[in-house]
């Protein structure tokens, strides 16, 4: 299973500036969580995520400047735009891990999702699943969700988990007869949906025993141990999306590693 980490490119750490260049090219003041704020992914601290985000924002500016100035060859513009999308994904995830309020992540996610649709690569299974899952949890508007769902159904192989999540917003889309593309780890999740009597307990076991361990072959596995500072967080977005679809009582999952509890409970 792929997930090419856009942040694999390493840059020297920058000092904490008071302003930065935003994704739209405008200088903007950096907002940090208030002292004592809640860092969601405690494998790293707030300063780590803030510095990483600042570096990646500058990376995007550099790539965009080269396109706008004509330094990027025409046949390289689409690959560069795909690289920009990947860095934006890293930024979004790092912001969530850092503890930014979910309400402040909705519009950046909308932009990210539309970039994904515009620059889609068919083998982006994990990206497709993550963005679809976050779209379900954030209750994004129909324009964004339908664009995501339409792109995935048109350009990806049929998949039970994709279609199960799409069915939540588009009931006319069936999923029961769809194959499951990735048995490991998602068959455990499918069995939880279809068979488990105690679904919160089954979800807890999925998170503790299956999810992270099943991703050993991915580029982001153990990235928190890298000395290149490429780590943006570990999140099982599909767990949260499935919980939302099921209307699960997930109170026992609050604070469980990998589970995006406050995304599940966001009200759009």
Give the DSSP letter string of 188-216: HHHHHHHT-SSHHHHHHHIIIIIITGGGT
Mean pLDDT of the chain: 87
Instruction: Provide the pLDDT for residue 121.
Output: 81
Q: Tens of pLDDT along 74-97?
A: 999 999 999 999 999 999 999 999
Instruction: Provide the pLDDT for residue 37.
Output: 52
Report the candidate in 193, 81, 190, 182 with the shortest Cα–Cα distance to residue 125: 182
**Statement: residue 30 has pLDDT above 80:** no
Q: Supply 218's token pair.
A: 């991915």
CA atoms of 40 and 99, how far apart (whole Å): 5
Q: Stretch 1-6: mean pLDDT, rounded?
A: 36
CA atoms of 217 and 225, how far apart (whole Å): 15
Confidence of residue 31 (pLDDT cuts 50, 70, 90): very low
Q: Tens of pLDDT along 175-206?
A: 999 999 999 899 999 999 999 999 999 999 99
Q: Tens of pLDDT along 129-187?
A: 999 999 999 999 999 999 999 999 999 999 999 999 999 999 999 999 999 999 989 99
CA atoms of 135 and 140, how far apart (whole Å): 5
| Integer angstrom CA distances of residue 142 from 105, 145, 166 | 17, 5, 12
């Amino acid at each position: 299973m792929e997930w090419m980490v856009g942040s694999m490119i390493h840059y020297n750490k920058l000092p904490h500036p008071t302003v930065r260049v935003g994704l739209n090219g405008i200088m903007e003041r950096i907002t940090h969580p208030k002292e004592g704020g809640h860092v969601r992914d405690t494998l790293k601290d707030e300063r780590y995520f803030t510095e990483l985000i600042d570096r990646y924002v500058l990376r995007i500016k550099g790539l965009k400047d080269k396109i706008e100035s004509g330094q990027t060859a025409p046949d390289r513009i689409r690959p560069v735009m795909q690289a920009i999308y990947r860095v934006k994904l890293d930024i979004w995830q790092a912001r969530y891990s850092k503890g930014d309020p979910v309400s402040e992540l909705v519009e950046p996610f909308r932009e990210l999702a539309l970039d994904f649709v515009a620059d889609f690569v068919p083998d982006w299974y994990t990206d497709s699943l993550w963005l679809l899952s976050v779209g379900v949890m954030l209750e994004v508007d129909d324009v964004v969700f339908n664009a995501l769902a339409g792109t995935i159904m048109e350009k990806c192989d049929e998949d039970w988990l994709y279609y199960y999540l799409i069915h939540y917003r588009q009931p006319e889309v069936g999923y029961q007869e769809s194959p499951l593309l990735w048995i490991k780890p998602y068959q455990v999740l499918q069995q939880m949906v279809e068979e488990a009597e105690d679904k919160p307990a089954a979800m807890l076991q999925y998170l503790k025993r299956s999810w992270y361990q099943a991703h050993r072959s991915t580029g982001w596995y153990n990235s928190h141990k890298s000395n290149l500072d490429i780590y943006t967080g570990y999140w099982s977005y599909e767990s949260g999306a499935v919980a939302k679809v099921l209307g699960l009582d997930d109170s026992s999952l609050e604070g469980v590693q990998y589970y995006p509890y406050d995304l599940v409970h966001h009200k759009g």
